[in-house]
């Protein structure tokens, strides 16, 4: 007859143990000796710690992760507040402008000083009256069917801002061959870019990525298009 130590016991699946403990949360309370005797490998030191110590360590890690996430959310909220304030200031300035040239000058100045963009270009179609090509280096006045706008064809058919990395042809047209811009935001001015579009460049290739929020950009485009349409 085989001894007890030679008996083979069926393995218990980890899932079953986990299910049992979830269904009996008072298990360790009823088995305090077992709780105090359990030792688990420590992830960093290689030693062993008690189950309670491990649980406290897990809770501390979760608390740190939640604290980090909260700080990130607060920073985002503060950033949104600053953007909202700058948009409001820009709207007031645009409302006081008496001409399209004034609108362009205000937008150029505010993008550089108020919003601290690396580089920007305002592309306006020659169908918009009262615009001169040489008004500012910030402005490009072109015909809507200009072949140079080929790299922007799909964007021009939409009415929503777009963020992406810059292709060479796009960079050369918007910012010049010597520009070091790596990513861009394209902002339509009016439905299907009726007036043209605003391009904002950044040296960081990941700054204007496709997943970036476009709410601020959409408001900026609406304000600019409205100001241009009033003159």
Query: What's the whole-model pTM score?
Result: 0.68
Question: What are the structural domains of the chain?
Answer: 97-229 (3.30.450.40)
123-129 contact pairs (CB < 8 A, 24+): 123/149, 123/174, 123/196, 123/197, 123/198, 123/199, 124/189, 124/195, 124/196, 124/228, 125/193, 125/195, 125/196, 128/100, 128/195, 128/196, 128/228
pLDDT score recorded for residue 202: 96
Write phi, then psi, for 119 (nearest 5 degrees).
-160, 145
Give the closest residue to 183 by CA, choosing from 198, 164, 168.
Answer: 164
Q: Residue 183 has what pLDDT? A: 96
Task: Give the pLDDT score at 17.
Answer: 83
3-state helix, strand, coil in the chain (%, to 5): 55, 15, 30
Amino acid 152: pLDDT: 94
Q: What integer pLDDT is reported at residue 6 of this predicted model?
A: 42
- DSSP states of 74-108 as a string? HHHHHHHHHHHHHHHHHHHHHHH--SHHHHHHHHH
Question: Per-block average pLDDT, block size 10, for the chain (231 residues)?
Answer: 44 79 82 67 59 72 88 85 90 90 92 92 80 70 92 89 94 92 95 93 94 91 91 69
- Joined together, the tokens standing for residue 127 give 């169908």
């Amino acid at each position: 007859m085989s001894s007890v130590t030679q008996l083979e016991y069926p393995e218990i699946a980890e899932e079953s143990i986990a299910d049992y403990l979830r269904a009996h949360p008072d298990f360790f309370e009823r088995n305090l000796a077992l709780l105090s005797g359990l030792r688990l490998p420590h992830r960093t030191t290689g030693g062993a710690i008690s189950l309670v110590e491990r649980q406290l360590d897990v809770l501390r890690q979760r608390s740190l992760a939640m604290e980090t996430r909260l700080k990130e959310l607060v920073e985002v909220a503060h950033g949104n507040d600053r953007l909202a304030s700058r948009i409001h200031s820009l709207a007031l300035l645009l409302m006081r402008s008496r001409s399209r040239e004034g609108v362009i000058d205000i937008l150029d100045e505010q993008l550089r000083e108020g919003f601290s963009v690396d580089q920007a270009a305002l592309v306006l179609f020659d169908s918009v009256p009262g615009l001169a090509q040489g008004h500012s280096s910030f402005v490009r006045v072109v015909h809507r069917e200009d072949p140079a706008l080929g790299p922007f064809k799909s964007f021009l058919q939409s009415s929503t801002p777009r963020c992406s990395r810059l292709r060479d042809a796009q960079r050369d047209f918007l910012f010049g061959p010597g520009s070091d811009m790596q990513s861009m935001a394209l902002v339509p001015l009016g439905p299907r870019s009726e007036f043209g579009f605003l391009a904002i460049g950044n040296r960081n290739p990941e700054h204007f990525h496709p997943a970036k929020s476009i709410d601020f950009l959409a408001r900026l485009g609406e304000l600019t298009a409205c100001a241009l349409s009033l003159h």
